[in-house]
Chains A and B, each alone.
Chain A
Amino acid sequence: MTTDITRLSASELAASLADGTVSSVEATQAHLDRIAEVDGDLNAFLHVSAEEALATAADVDARRSAGDELGPLAGVPIAIKDVVVTKGLPTTAGSKILEGWIPPYDATLVERIKAAGLPILGKTNMDEFAMGSSTEHSAYGNTRNPWDLDRIPGGSGGGSAAAVAAFEAPLAIGTDTGGSIRQPGAVTGTVGAKPTYGGVSRYGLIAMASSLDQAGPVTRTVLDAALLHELIGGHDPRDSTSIPEALPRLADAARLGAAGDLKGLRVGVVKELSGEGYQEGVSARFAESLDTLRALGAEVVEVSCPHFTYALDAYYLIMPAEASSNLAKFDGMRFGLRVQPSEGPVTAERVMAATRGTGFGDEVKRRVILGTYALSAGYYDAYYGSAQKVRTLVQRDFAAAFDQADVLVSPTAPTTAFKFGEKLDDPLAMYLNDVATIPANLAGVPGVSVPNGLSDDGLPVGFQILAPAKADDRMYRVGAALEASLEKTWGGPLLAQAPELKTTELTR
């Protein structure tokens, strides 16, 4: 066979599986081989579940030859961010405090992935409890950016983005609380979509901030993202915040967009998400992409969302407040790490303190302390209360903007991938990386990051498309249109321009 299976997009691979040119076992093995070859350098995976993946693949192959009706992505392997619980597979959320914990149940989205016959390759690295924008806060080491191994792959879902960018997996699951799917997508040249809040069940996601968390697809093409979104999305009675209505037709929207006609579509450029603080190459690619959309027939208008300026501040009160409560359960009493106090009496309270003191990393402690403070008696109104008011204002800004435009656009992240350690000692600089992605989480609206070129530093840049709540189809349509047009200019996918990774010889 001439084509490397791992270079195929998920939908291409699905087509090959359907017509019998490739088996799921072959496809799964090819990706496992690729992981073995390159992951020593990348560290995208915390756990590789080769046996289980191959067993699923063999089962799907058998069902296919038996003539069973299979879903569109059956047999296509997938990687799952380690913040999603997987029955029988270690789940750490990137934290020492969960080292060795094997969940006794599956997240709803994992149940759906298993039911659809996608072999699970393993669990991907992340910032501890999804707190970070660089994956440097993982307790299990950095994940490197396949474009430049000295640089961060984004975060918190750096493992999923790097795995997909490095052809270790055609599909991955991410979670996005303030940009953890989209920003890694931008800095690794991959597609990352955050669905409407409530569009994908949160049952089985280890919560950081319940009102902001949302799981979504990490892929190499917009169509793949739409297909995976359709697979994992839709109502789940086990998540009270799950949307009861059916999802819009997402893959159809992506196919429609790829046909290239955006006539009549109004694209709103958010004034507040550009200019100062945005790297020159990022702004340049953004401007060019707007031209591309105009060329496809879209009308580009400028919209103002004045309260977005306060979004970051509100986010850094709401998120830690919820996280401080969500992370209280990690106390060494029922699961995971348990640490006895080094001296003095062994009481439950002291074991909890010792466990949390040892098990949590600095960024987690920082946010737990911040959130505990923000919720304290006497401070609640000033901090959490005010932040919720800002949240309402951000939602109103979105509502007004969507009166003027069908979708809103911005650069996904202000800069390309930075070097390891560059922002580690400056939390505020690190937090600023999420300035363009956070408003969508505060308002619960969907957003996708699509690769739109390389900056002058030769690193990938992302273009963010935001749609109104429950209109996720719009972002796939526009994203696919942009992707198709840009790939024509580039003569292929952006990732084809990524440097070849050094591979280690297989000892298999």
Chain B
Amino acid sequence: MTAVPTTDLVAYDDAVRRYDPVLGIEVHVELGTRTKMFCAAEVEFGAEPNTQTTPVSLGLPGALPVVNGTAVEYAIRIGLALNCQIAESCRFARKNYFYPDVPKNFQTSQYDEPIAYDGWIDVELEDGETFRVEIERAHMEEDAGKNTHVGGTAGRIHGAEYSLVDYNRAGIPLVEIVTRPIEGAGERAPEVARAYVQTLRDIFRALDVSEARMERGNVRADVNVSLRTGPEAPLGTRTETKNVNSFRSVERTVRHEISRQAAVLDAGDTVVQETRHWHEDTGVTTPGRVKSDAEDYRYFPEPDLVPVAPSRDWVEEIRAGLPEMPAARRRRLQGDWGYADAEMRDVVNAGALDLIEATVAGGTTPAGARKWWMGELARRAKQADVPLESMAVTPAQIAELEQLIAGGKINDKLARQVLDGVLAGEGDPAAVVQSRGLEVVSDDGALLTAIDEALAAQPDVVAKVRGGNQGPVGAIIGAVMKATKGQADAKRVRELVLERIGQ
């Protein structure tokens, strides 16, 4: 077996013409419960290391786990949203392996008895086509702590002088969702992978079971890819790329693995079954541990816990309380707002759906809300290279801005200055108008003073207008607007100027 250098790739189009990709995706989502999976330690992002622990989450001698009921409810919600069966009774198991970030040296997980199984979900691709992904199972488990390697290169364990472990994350409840082999996506496999993870993220948010922030690692995907010569051929050897944590990376990982594996197969070699790591900077995957040395996890039922047996009544109660799913909601909102298909897709892809919905709820017209979020704000977000939702302005503030325009308090040009103020943290739009003195000057007295000054300064223009040529009046209006720093209502200025000149 010869190693294929990562630069030696088959062009993607060529690869998918000759090989049929099959995917398998495991998505881990951290549940947004107040406390951990098996103890009362609080869960809060960004707390001081090792402050959110109990004897249980530190794995101290004698400590015992107790299942978090809210986590079970969230897992059931996820299972139901993914059209799964919910187990009448299921157990936790111990997955035994030694690693310093696993305080007990076993992870309490579910093995042969997941809480949810046999589901499916339709994912919408960017062009509006849907693709059905079958779900094998969704199970509950606990997260590990976080290792920090100090003194090596780029935080890697290799060459590090020492390592630190933060157990704040240890024991945070996770649900892992495992697909059946995703077949038939063909050349669109990377896109399907991305859309699937994005669909799950949207569902987690709609269900209110997690903040589901990819950048914080709330949602992490392990992406399995294999190639075969055609849909009828037996499955090829897969690789598993671990902890891919953005939608774009999911897509790029699949694309890269298809090109890489095609090169391996073209060379007459066999794909090595292994875990791989995705490198965002270089856009390639590199091998991690080889799976054939896979540890024997010695799973056995967790004797410290009793089976979880959600009653059918409870499951039905949870089902009845499920919120509208994102796809249904998109269809409803598009109908309500009268957006064209392409407009709606752009809004969804830009992550502006919630923002626009909230802005419309604040009284803005759907067209007005779209104009702001997909126009001025999208432009500024792109400039600042931040997601739209991270902009320091709320839908309520945009709605307020629109009201100020509609009420004639400010004009479009002033509105952009007001937005500057809001984004700079100067308060709500009305407050910014006040503090920056941006209100349209509608006091005729103040305008007349400026007009008289402008008339006096340009007697030739006045003469021309009086002579019946209204063309040059723009020069007077321009001077007035300049004198009032753009805060005058240009239409009113025109009326007053003509009145003054006696026309």
Contact = CB atoms under 8 A, between A and B. Distances in A.
Q: Which of A84, A104, A239, A333 has the most CB of B within 10 A?
A: A333
A493 B66 CA distance: 44
A324 B303 CA distance: 13
B21 interface: no
Contacts of A238: 64, 66
B491 interface: no
A349 B94 contact: no
B62 A377 contact: no
Contacts of B163: 348
A66 interface: no
Given A85-B61, A204-B62, A325-B298, A105 B303 contact: no
Nearest to A101: B61
A329 B304 contact: no
A104 B63 CA distance: 11
Given A328-B98, A333-B100, A203 B63 contact: yes
A328 B96 contact: yes
A91 B105 CA distance: 21
Interface stretch (A137-145, A205-213, A247-255, A395-403): A205-213
Nearest to A236: B64
B305 interface: yes
Given A240-B65, A328-B98, A329-B103, A105 B55 contact: yes
A324 B103 CA distance: 15
A241 B307 CA distance: 10
DSSP majority for the A interface?
Answer: loop
Interface string A228-264: 0000000001111100000000000000000000000
B91 to A, nearest CB: 12
A238 B305 CA distance: 11
Interface residues of B, number: 30
B106 interface: yes
A155 to B, nearest CB: 19
A72 interface: no
Contacts of B171: none
Interface in B53-110: 55, 58-67, 94, 96, 98-100, 103-106
B105 A375 contact: no
A85 B163 CA distance: 29
Given A239-B64, A377-B296, A325 B94 contact: yes
Contacts of B337: none
A345 to B, nearest CB: 11
B300 A240 contact: no
A110 to B, nearest CB: 10
A240 B58 contact: no
Contact of A325 (B63, B64, B96, B103): B96
B306 interface: yes
A240 B165 CA distance: 28
Interface in B397-453: none
Contact of B62 (A206, A240, A241): A206
Contact of B306 (A207, A237, A241, A329): A241
Contacts of B60: 85, 103-105, 329, 334-335
B61 A329 contact: yes
Contacts of B63: 203-204
Interface in B291-305: 296, 298-300, 303-305
B335 to A, nearest CB: 49
A232 B165 CA distance: 36
A105 B63 CA distance: 9
A372 interface: yes
26 contacts: A91-B61, A107-B62, A202-B64, A204-B62, A204-B63, A237-B66, A238-B66, A239-B64, A240-B64, A240-B305, A240-B306, A322-B303, A325-B298, A328-B96, A328-B98, A329-B59, A329-B60, A329-B104, A329-B105, A348-B100, A349-B98, A372-B298, A375-B300, A380-B298, A380-B299, A384-B300
Interface of A: 84-85, 91, 93, 98, 101, 103-105, 107, 202-207, 209-211, 237-241, 321-322, 324-325, 328-331, 333-335, 348-349, 352, 372, 375-377, 380, 384
| Complex A-B, nearest 4 residue pairs according to Cβ-Cβ distance, in ascending order | A328-B105, A375-B298, A210-B303, A211-B303
Given A205-B62, A384-B300, 18 more contacts: A85-B62, A98-B61, A101-B61, A103-B61, A104-B60, A202-B304, A203-B64, A204-B62, A207-B304, A237-B66, A240-B65, A328-B98, A328-B104, A328-B106, A334-B103, A335-B60, A375-B300, A380-B299
